[in-house]
Amino acid sequence: NKTIILKSRPKGIPTLDNFDFKEEEKPDPNEGEVLLKTKYVSVDPYLRGRMRDEESYIEPFEIDKPIQSGIVAEVVESKNDSFKKGDYVSGMLEWKEFQTSNGKQLQKVDETKAPLSAYQGVLGLTGLTAYLGLLNIGEPKEGETVLVSGASGAVGSIVGQIAKIKGCKAVGIAGSDEKLTTMKEKFGFDEGINYKTTSDMKQAIKEACPNGVDVYFDNVGGEILDATLANINRHGRVINCGAISLYNKKEQPTGPRLETTIVKKSIKMQGFIVRDFGEKFEEAIAQLGKWLEEDKLTYSETIVEGFDNIPKAFIDLFEGKNEGKMIVKVS
């Protein structure tokens, strides 16, 4: 039974040396527990934050202890009346091939309604982040321009589609021309900006958003946020979802640097953790599921095969090797 532990805290971009594999006994479930076999592992940018030893909304990973993330697993043995052998569940679980759980934090997932991997993506925290962040903080109105960074990623690609469903113009920023093509052809974005080949982001945003930016869904922070604020409209809304461009920086810049813009244009900037909206999860998942059924919403996944490749898949997020949700298929 393989397990992956955090061997050392990354300095800058994580490397394979920060992780280690351990072999341990396959556990036996006690009364009230289930034995789980890992099927799909979600790797996410926010895990980088948990590798730092600092106070946050969630405790840091400990050195020499297993890493955790969202996992879809199969119940292979059950001593808990709420679950039977063959059920599929999702939850925050450890990077192990097999593990036991008392079931309290597990949600059952239905393979007949959607592929199991989708419960880590569009029907999981990814879809919830996009939906609840955009609609509750961004409050997009028909005819407005919604700009999204990290737009070809898991959250960003869903945000753009919801913006279109709400009758907005959707403009996406991503790191390759291939990604821009997919964003437009598959997800319906109106315009795309490749931030890696664009020398003047402020100008590029101005050209792609001739009516200015009403809502900015920020997944990356840093300079792209600055360039967006230079193009934001009066009463614009900025959803601070993530700041991946800063996650591997040894020194964090201070800010916000465009304070005069924020004041003069009466901007709302608001950060959030998806769990802040916990009471709206059920309604949000129902709506996302309905849009999927109606073909109003679609999604991409980058599926990496094999338990041993979990650390590499995580590291690859910072090089933009994924389109849509990055998921590791274990068995």
| 164/179 with CB nearer ligand NDP | 179
The DSSP symbol for 59 reads: P
**Nearer to ligand NDP by C-beta: 126 or 145?**
126
Which residues fall within 8 angstroms of residue 227, CB to CB, at 6 or more apart?
A: 201, 202, 204, 205
Backbone angles phi, psi at 147, to 5 degrees: -100, 135
Q: How far is the CB of 128 from ligand NDP (least distance, A)?
A: 8
* Residue burial 128-155, b: 16+ Cβ < 10 Å; e: rest: bbbbbbbbebbebeeebbbbbbbbbbbb
> What 8-state DSSP symbol labels residue 326?
E
CA distance 18 to 39: 23
Token couple for 23: 């072999």
Minimum CB–partner distance for residue 317 and ligand NDP (Å): 5
Closest approach, Cβ 114 to ligand NDP, in A, equals: 18
Q: In terms of CB distance, is 35 or 162 closer to ligand NDP?
A: 162
Of 35 and 327, nearer to ligand NDP (C-beta) is 327
Residue found under tokens 């009230």:
32
Residues forming the site for ligand NDP (CB under 6 A)? 44-46, 125-126, 129, 150, 152-156, 174-176, 179, 219-220, 241-242, 244-245, 272-274, 317-318, 320, 322, 326
> Cβ 178 to ligand NDP, closest distance in Å?
9
- Choose between 25 and 319: whose C-beta lies nearer to ligand NDP: 319
* Cβ 118 to ligand NDP shortest distance, Å: 14
| Residue whose C-alpha is closest to residue 70's, from 55, 92, 51 | 92
